[in-house]
Amino acid sequence: MTQKQIKYLFFFSFVAMMIVYILVFGKVRTIMLLIDEYIFVLSLIPLWLISLWYKRKLRRIELIDFHQDSGITLKTTVVFFLLFQVIDYVYEGGFIGMISQWFLYWIMGFISFMVLTIVNYHKNYKYLKLQGLK
């Protein structure tokens, strides 16, 4: 999957998750679920700022994807998600407890995506410094 496809996947999964949350929990409880994870949401701010810094430094350079052959596929991700859904169903008290964890999974996935993107930017930056292009 390309970076653009992954961004679309995160956006549309967030929209779908919010629709399910509002239908199942209502607006007030959905907002409370989102507020409960405020530390994880706030952790995206420094990651976003670091990402912007690297984007500015590397804006006219064609980037190398150092994570191209990472071996993690969408199929593997879905299997892990389903495994954790079964665990949450058992330990979080059924269906309602299970879906209340979706936002946490989404945030953790987005944080890992941002970290991997920043690592790729950093490797490109170091490579360009070694080549003497920057």
pLDDT digits (tens, 9 = 90+) for 71-125: 666 677 778 888 888 888 888 888 888 888 888 888 988 898 899 889 999 999 9
What pLDDT is stored for residue 105 in this prediction? 87
How do the domains of the chain map onto residue ranges?
Answer: 3-131
Instruction: Determine the pLDDT at residue 70.
Output: 65
Confirm if 134 and 54 have CB atoms less than 8 A apart. Answer: no
Given a contact cutoff of 8 angstroms between Cβ atoms, the answer to whether 2 and 68 are in contact is no
Per-residue model confidence (pLDDT) at position 133 = 62
Model pLDDT for residues 23-53, shown as the tens digit of each residue: 999 999 999 988 998 999 999 999 999 999 9
